[in-house]
A and B are shown apart, each in its own frame.
Chain A
Amino acid sequence: MQTDIPFKMFENCILVKGIKRSTIVDLGRRKYHIIPNDLHDLLTKYDGKSIEHIMQFYDIENQKTISEYFKFLFDNEIIFHTENPNHFPKIDFSNWKTPSLVYQCIIDLKSDYSVINEDLVESLDNLNCKFLQIRIYGNIKTQRLHDLIKKFENSSIIGIDVYLKYKSIEESEALYDLAKTFQRVNNIVIFDSDTNKQLFTHKKHNVNIAYVKQKITNCLSCGVVSPEYFSVNIQAFTESSNFNSCLNQKISIDENGEIKNCPSMKESFGNIKNVSLEEALDKEGFKKYWKITKDKIEGCKDCEFRHICTDCRAYVENPDDKYSKPLKCGYDPHTSKWEEWSTNPLKQKSIEHYGLRQIIK
C-alpha cells in the first residue's frame, strides 16, 4: 500500500448502497462483499485520490479504521494504484441487449407431454430462445424424457434444466446417458428427495445431476428470494440495472397449457393449443413487468443486494401493487436480517390470497 499514489476501484467492482449497509459487487470474481455505508461513501467521494489525501480529514481513531478498510480493499484486489485514474472509464451498464426476443422458457408439465412438439420448438427458434427449464410434476419414463429433449436438437436452445420429482423416474444409468447424449442438458434436479446429494457431475460436458430436499409441489413453490439464488456476473447485473431480474425476456407454459410470463402468474395470454408463443408475446400486457427494475420496488430499492438478487412479481406483499416487495423475501434491509418469510405476521394475508398455505409446512 502506497499512501501517496492515487488509488482507483476496478470498474468491475460495483458499489451498491442500501439503507443500512452496502455491497461491493465483484463482477470479475463473481462474489460480493458487505461493507458499511461509511466505506461506500468514502470510496464514492475519494476514488482516484490518494490515501494520504483522505487521511488529512480524519482523526487518529478514524485513520486506523480507514487503514483497515484499505487493507481489505487491496487484499481483495478491489482497488489498485494508478497515476492515471481517468484512463479507466466506467463500464456502460445502461444498455442491455440480446439477439433474442425471449431468453428463457419455462414449461411446467403434469401429465400431458404433447405440449413439447415441433411447433413449439419452431416458435422457440423464432424467438431465438436460449434456455429452457422443464419442470415435471408427474411420473415420467426415462425414454419419454429422452424423446422430449431430443426434440430440441438443432434448436436455438443452448441450455436445458430438467426438474423431476423424486421417485417419479426410474433412477438408472439412463439418466446419465441422457445427460451425456444431449449436450444441451445442463442440470437435472430431482426434488422432494430425502437428501441433498450430487449424483453425477461432468465438468467437460457441463452437466450436473443432483438430489435436492427442496419440496416442489407445483408453480406455487417458485419465487423464493434467498442468497443462494444470487447471481453475480456482468450480464445479470446489466440486465438487472435495466430490466426485471426474473421476468424480462421470459415466457412460460403452465401445467394447463396456459401461456404466461411465468407459470406462477395469473394472467394468461392464451392456451398453447390455439395460440403460438409469438402471438402471446405480442399481446398487450405480456411485457408489463419487464421494465420493473429493483430500484422501483418497495423494499428492494433500499436493499444492498438489489442488483444481484432475483425478483418475483407473482407473489408480492401487496397483491394490488405491482411495485410491492416480493412476498417470499425474508430480508429486511432496515435491520439487515434474514427471517423466515412464511411466518411473518404481516405476510399472512397475502399468503392466504395466493393460496400458498398448502406449500408451507
Chain B
Amino acid sequence: MELLEKKVLIISSDIDRSTSEVLEWLIVKKQPFIRLNDNVCFDLDNIEIMQKQNKLVLKYNGEIIYLKNIKSFWYRRGSISVRNNIPDSIPNAVKIYLNEECKAIEAFIIYELDKLAKINHYGNSNLNKLYQLSLAVECGLNIPYTAIANDSSTVKKILLEHKSIVSKSIQASLNYQTKSNMYSLMTSKFENCDLDTSAANFFYTKFQPQIVKDFELRIFFLNKKFYTMAIFSQRNKKTEVDFRNYDFENPNRCVPYKLPVFLEKKLLKLMNKLDLLSGSIDMIVRGKEYYFLEVNPVGQFGMVSYPCNYYLEEKIAEILSKNENKKLKN
C-alpha cells in the first residue's frame, strides 16, 4: 500500500509575504504543502458523493490533487473557480444554464475544502460589515452610531447631531493606479464644507461619528486566543482618522495590549456567531469604552506579529500541520 503524507493546501496570492513566512515554518516542521496563487481555477477530475465518503479529485496545471490527501486547508487570498470552457457560439440561455451548473460544482468544492479549514473559511471570507456591526451589538459590544446615506440633507442632520463625522466605504475597498498616482479609498473626515461641495445626491456612503480615541486596537484572533496590538494613531495629524496614512518618518507607536476578560468573552461570542476561526478585529478605545469597528476574516497579521514578537506565522503553521482532525469549533 502506498504511504502518503497528507498535505496542507493553501490558496493565496503570489505577492502575499505572510503566506511565504508561514510556509517557511511548514518546511521547518517537515509538513508538505501545495500553494496555489492568484484566483485559482481548477479542472475537475472527478466528484463522487457516496454513502461512506465523498471523493473529490481536482486538477491544477496538470497536477492531480486528491482531497483525501489534504489534511488542512488555508484560504488566504483570491477566488476559487472551475474551468468551464463554455463556447461563445451557443445560445445565451444555454450559457446561463451551463454557468449555473459550474457554480454548483464550485460551491461543492468550496464546501468540501472548508470542512478542512483551520484558519479561514473561503465561504465567509468576505463578511458583510453592516451585518457584523449588528451582530456585535447582539454580543454586547459597543459600536459607533452608523448610518448609510446618499443625500446631503441626511448627512447634514447627522453632522448637526454628532458634530464631527467620518465617511468610509460600506464594504469594499478601492485601490487604483493612474499613470502618475496611486489612489486608495481611506476613512476620511466629513465636514460642513464637504457638504457645500458635494452634490445633493451621491453614492451610498457609510457615516460614523469621529470618535476621538486614546488609541486603536488591531486584534488578531487565532485558535481562540487574542493577539492584540495598540496603535497610538491619535497623536499624529496624518494618522488620526486612518492609520493607513502611514507616517514613515515618525511611525505610530505600536505595542502589545492585554484585553480585559469581559471584552474577550464578548469578542469570542461574536467570532463564534460569525463562524470565524481567525480574523483581524479593529476596535477603538476611548477612556473605559471599547468600540468594535469591524473584523476582516482574512486580515493581515504580520503587522501585529512583528512589532509584538508574537510569532503568529509559526503559530499558524503549527495549526495547519497538526495531525488530529478534530474540529476546532463548537
- A contact set with B: CB distance below 8 Å: 10-12, 27-29, 77, 80, 82, 86-93, 95, 97, 99-100, 128, 234, 238
Known contacts A80-B232, A95-B311, A234-B309: A88-B257 contact under CB 8 Å:
yes
Q: Which of B214, B235, B257, B258 contacts A77 (CB 8 A)?
A: B235
Q: How near does chain A come to B80, taking the closest CB pair, in angstroms?
A: 27
Given A91-B308, A128-B24, 15 extra CB contacts under 8 A: A10-B253, A11-B256, A12-B253, A12-B254, A12-B307, A28-B254, A29-B250, A82-B214, A87-B259, A89-B256, A89-B258, A91-B255, A91-B256, A99-B25, A99-B28
Residues of chain B within 8 A (CB-CB) of A95 are 309, 311
Majority SS at the chain B contact face: mixed
Q: Which of A86, A90, A97 contacts B314 (CB 8 A)?
A: A97
Q: Which residue of A lies closest to B306 (CB)?
A: A234
Q: Are A86 and B258 in contact (CB under 8 A)?
A: yes
Residues of chain B within 8 A (CB-CB) of A80 are 232, 253
Q: Are B258 and A28 in contact (CB under 8 A)?
A: no
Query: How many angstroms from the CA of A12 to the CA of B307 in the assembled complex?
Result: 8
Q: Are A97 and B311 in contact (CB under 8 A)?
A: yes
Q: Are A91 and B309 in contact (CB under 8 A)?
A: yes
Q: How near does chain A come to B252, taking the closest CB pair, in angstroms?
A: 8
Residues of chain A within 8 A (CB-CB) of B258 are 86-89
Residues of chain B within 8 A (CB-CB) of A128 are 24, 27-28
Residues of chain A within 8 A (CB-CB) of B28 are 99, 128
B62 interface hit (Cβ, 8 Å)? no
Residues of chain A within 8 A (CB-CB) of B250 are 29
Residues of chain B within 8 A (CB-CB) of A87 are 257-260
Query: How many angstroms from the CA of A238 to the CA of B308 in the assembled complex?
Result: 11
* Candidate in B24, B27, B309 with the most chain A CB atoms within 10 angstroms: B309
Q: Which of B239-266 contact A (CB under 8 A)?
A: 250-251, 253-260
22 sample A-B contacts, Cβ–Cβ < 8 Å, listed by A number:
A11-B256, A12-B307, A28-B251, A28-B253, A28-B254, A29-B250, A77-B235, A77-B253, A86-B258, A87-B260, A88-B255, A88-B256, A89-B256, A89-B257, A90-B256, A91-B256, A93-B309, A97-B314, A99-B24, A100-B24, A128-B28, A234-B307
Query: How many angstroms from the CA of A97 to the CA of B311 in the assembled complex?
Result: 8
Query: How many angstroms from the CA of A238 to the CA of B256 in the assembled complex?
Result: 15
Residues of chain B within 8 A (CB-CB) of A88 are 230, 255-258
Residues of chain B within 8 A (CB-CB) of A234 are 306-307, 309
Residues of B within 8 A of A (CB-CB), count: 25
Q: Which residue of A lies closest to B23 (CB)?
A: A99
Residues of chain A within 8 A (CB-CB) of B306 are 234
Query: How many angstroms from the CA of A342 to the CA of B119 in the assembled complex?
Result: 57
Q: Which residue of B lies closest to A93 (CB)?
A: B309
Majority SS at the chain A contact face: loop
Pairs of residues from A and B, 8 with the lowest C-beta to C-beta distance, nearest first: A99-B24, A11-B255, A99-B28, A10-B253, A99-B25, A89-B258, A87-B258, A89-B256
Q: Which residue of A lies closest to B317 (CB)?
A: A99
Query: How many angstroms from the CA of A90 to the CA of B235 in the assembled complex?
Result: 22
Query: How many angstroms from the CA of A5 to the CA of B110 in the assembled complex?
Result: 53
Query: How many angstroms from the CA of A128 to the CA of B21 in the assembled complex?
Result: 12
Residues of chain B within 8 A (CB-CB) of A92 are 309
Query: How many angstroms from the CA of A90 to the CA of B256 in the assembled complex?
Result: 7
Residues of chain A within 8 A (CB-CB) of B21 are 99
Q: How near does chain B come to A360, taking the closest CB pair, in angstroms?
A: 39
Q: How near does chain B come to A76, taking the closest CB pair, in angstroms?
A: 10
Known contacts A77-B235, A88-B230, A128-B24: A12-B255 contact under CB 8 Å:
yes
Residues of chain A within 8 A (CB-CB) of B232 are 10, 77, 80
Q: Which residue of B lies closest to A86 (CB)?
A: B258
Q: Are B311 and A28 in contact (CB under 8 A)?
A: no
Q: How near does chain A come to B326, taking the closest CB pair, in angstroms?
A: 27
Q: Which residue of B lies closest to A12 (CB)?
A: B255
Query: How many angstroms from the CA of A27 to the CA of B307 in the assembled complex?
Result: 9
Q: Which of A77, A99, A238 contacts B309 (CB 8 A)?
A: A238
Query: How many angstroms from the CA of A128 to the CA of B25 in the assembled complex?
Result: 11
Known contacts A87-B260, A99-B25, A99-B28: A29-B251 contact under CB 8 Å:
yes
Query: How many angstroms from the CA of A80 to the CA of B230 in the assembled complex?
Result: 13
Query: How many angstroms from the CA of A129 to the CA of B257 in the assembled complex?
Result: 33
Q: How near does chain B come to A264, taking the closest CB pair, in angstroms?
A: 29
Query: How many angstroms from the CA of A90 to the CA of B27 in the assembled complex?
Result: 30
Query: How many angstroms from the CA of A128 to the CA of B235 in the assembled complex?
Result: 41
Q: Mark B259-301, 1 if CB is under 8 A from A, else 0.
A: 1100000000000000000000000000000000000000000
Q: Which residue of A lies closest to B260 (CB)?
A: A87
Q: How near does chain B come to A187, taking the closest CB pair, in angstroms?
A: 20
* Candidate in A87, A90, A100 with the most chain B CB atoms within 10 angstroms: A87
Query: How many angstroms from the CA of A86 to the CA of B257 in the assembled complex?
Result: 9
Query: How many angstroms from the CA of A77 to the CA of B250 in the assembled complex?
Result: 10
Residues of chain A within 8 A (CB-CB) of B257 are 87-89
Residues of chain A within 8 A (CB-CB) of B314 are 97, 99
Q: Which residue of A lies closest to B21 (CB)?
A: A99
Query: How many angstroms from the CA of A100 to the CA of B235 in the assembled complex?
Result: 38
Query: How many angstroms from the CA of A95 to the CA of B25 in the assembled complex?
Result: 16
Q: Mark B184-216, 1 if CB is under 8 A from A, else 0.
A: 000000000000000000000000000000100
Q: Which of B33-61 contact A (CB under 8 A)?
A: none
Q: Which residue of B lies closest to A92 (CB)?
A: B309
Q: Which of B3-35 contact A (CB under 8 A)?
A: 21, 24-25, 27-28
Query: How many angstroms from the CA of A90 to the CA of B309 in the assembled complex?
Result: 10
* Candidate in A82, A91, A100, A128 with the most chain B CB atoms within 10 angstroms: A91
Q: How near does chain B come to A296, taking the closest CB pair, in angstroms?
A: 22
Q: How near does chain A come to B236, taking the closest CB pair, in angstroms?
A: 9
Residues of chain B within 8 A (CB-CB) of A93 are 309
Query: How many angstroms from the CA of A80 to the CA of B307 in the assembled complex?
Result: 18
Known contacts A88-B230, A99-B27, A128-B24: A10-B309 contact under CB 8 Å:
no
Q: Are B307 and A28 in contact (CB under 8 A)?
A: yes
Q: Which residue of B lies closest to A78 (CB)?
A: B253
Residues of chain A within 8 A (CB-CB) of B27 are 99, 128
Residues of chain A within 8 A (CB-CB) of B24 are 99-100, 128
Q: Which residue of A lies closest to B249 (CB)?
A: A29
